[in-house]
Structures are given as C-alpha cells and as structure tokens.
Structure 1
Amino acid sequence: MIIEQLNLNCHSSDETLILAAGRGDTRAFSEVVRRHQQWAWQIAHRFCGDEHEAADIVQEAFLNVFAASGRYKSQAKFRTYFYRIITHICIDKARKKSPCFMANIPEFTEKGKSAAEFMEHEETARTVRKALDGLCPAQRLAVIFRYYEELSYKEIAAALSTTPKAVEGLLTRARQHLKTSLVSKIYFEGD
C-alpha cells in the first residue's frame, strides 16, 4: 500500500484518488479535499448564506464521501457525485429549519471602489440574497449551479437527481420568482 500511496500525486484523477481512499489511503482523500473544498464551500455558502453553516455542510459532505469511498464506483465523474451529495445535504438542512436571511451574498468586492459604490454593492447583494432565499431549495440550487457554477442542464440534472427538462422548469420558475421579487423591490423603493 505504501508503494500505491507514493504513485498517487496531484496529477491523479479524482476518481483514482477516491478509489485509493476507499482502500485506506488518507493522503489520497486529503488531496480530494484540497481540490474540492473551495468550490464546495462556495456552493453551500451561496445556498445558505452563512459561513459557519456552509462549512458544516461541506464537512458533512466530505465525511459522507469518506465513509462511502470503499463502495465508490467511478461510473460518473467525482465532481458530479459530489454535487449530488452537497445537494442532498443542502436540501435536507433547508427542510429542517426556517429560512435565515443573511446580509451578504458570497461575492468578493473589487478593491478601489468608493464607499458609495461599496454600499450600493452591499445593498444589491442583500436584495439578491433575500430573493434567492425566497426560492424553494431545488430552485435555489438550480440557480446556483447554472449561474454561479455555470453547469449545463445535464450536469444540474445529475446533481439534483432529475431530468434536464425538470431543470429547465426549475430555472424558469426561479427566474419568474426572482424577476417578480427584484422588480417589485426596485419599483417600491423607487417611489
């Protein structure tokens, strides 16, 4: 096993690393975590709006992956498999609690902005966050996967355990809800 561990490196595929982790190679699993923790946290944070809850979601997802690594079958890309795990945890957490409206959507502001520009950006982020929080969990994840992660309908369908046609419907309803929420917010504030 030590020889096997030495042959795994940063050029190994995720699928190879997970299979090695399933055989007890913790360094292989550490490499998987290193590769995927940032984008996984961003998805969770965009979904729930809270840094600590996002970290908990990602930790739970990695624990699930590690626990199942011995049974992992590389029929799909690891990333698709991991999207599905994160999706299930996010939806499960959303079902167990009422929505929590957070002030910030997890985007980084550009340096060199004026205080007025920064405040305007923050207000827009709060408005978008509230609108996203108003979506059902499946719609919210579809929006996050499509517009923040730039996944195809097929990839989103795999993550949500549904069909591309159902994803199209989720996104259509989400866009309608967001349009209504955001337009009414702008209209009533502009008066």
Structure 2
Amino acid sequence: MRVAFLTAPEGVEQVELTEPWQAVVDAGHEPVLVSTKPGRIQAFHHLDKADTFPVQEVVGEASAGSFDGLVLPGGVANPDFLRMDPEAVAFVKGFFEAGRPVAAICHAPWTLIEADVVRGRVLTSWPSLRTDLRNAGATWVDEQVKVCDHAPSKLVTSRKPGDLKAFCATLLEVFAEEKEKQAA
C-alpha cells in the first residue's frame, strides 16, 4: 500500500508523524510525505523544535487516487496551516470522494472540518476540538481510537500521542481491509 502523510511545512507533532510512519514501514507499505511546499518540514515535540523531514510530494501535484490511504498527524499548528491551504483541503477531500481510508489524530480533525467531511460521522480528537466537530455536524466521543464506517470512506481517529499504539494498529487494519475490498 502507498500511504500519504500530509503535513504543513511547520508545526507537525513529531511522534504523531514518526510512529504511524514506522508502523506503515513495518507492515511492508510505502509511506510518502506530502506537504504544501517542497523542501523539508519541521517537526516539534510540543512547542520545541525537533527533527526535519524531506518532502517527497507537493500537495498541489499529488492526487488522492495515487494513494491507498491518508494519515493526518496532529500538533496544533499543523492542521491549522493545512486548513488554510485550499490545495491541502482539496487533497483531503479527494480521499473521501475516492472512498479511500483516512486516519487523523489529535488536532488533525480541524483539516477534516475544513474539507466538510465530518458531517454525520462519529469521531474522537483532542478534547478542545469537541465543540468544533459538533458544530460541523459530527458526533464527538472520548475514546482511545474510533473507526467510523460512514460511506464512502472509513475514518480512524484518536485523541492524543498516548493513543498512538491503538491508532497505529487500527489504521493498519482498516487500510488493509479497504485495500482488499478495492482489489476484489
């Protein structure tokens, strides 16, 4: 499977990028770092700068159809930057339109709200997004990981870095199930 990881140039929570990335690699799949600009992205450990990572594809040149799934890491700044970028929002929306699975953790559902893909869905997030999600038509739950099977795309969400083990295991399971369905 080819899995897109969408991040802004600055502000991604490093562990929310690196742990799902490693899970995808360990499962024998190909993760691809997609961003709004070429070059490198800056990751953070909360508010402190951490590592940088090379961008492999630019969102304006990438297509949801060339991937089997999408992972949206959190951090406060990352989804805030992404939701202000029309090409990033269109890229995210493209996964839902194509029926491809999406996984989002922590603050990442802000980008989903901007893409107008949460209405009628049940999901979780960092607790401060609860009202934003409800106002966008979603049902918010306080669970470690939540899978919403609302057609056409499955959505996996988690609340925080402490949920990463369950988040990674669940996204791999859901992505594999969806890939099998597409192949059949």
Indicate the TM-score class for this superposition, using the shorter chain for normalisation: under 0.3
Q: Which has the higher strand share?
A: 2
Could you state the TM-score of these two structures normalised by the residue count of structure 1?
Answer: 0.27
Could you state the TM-score of these two structures normalised by the residue count of structure 2?
Answer: 0.28
- Name which one, 1 or 2, has greater alpha-carbon Rg: 1
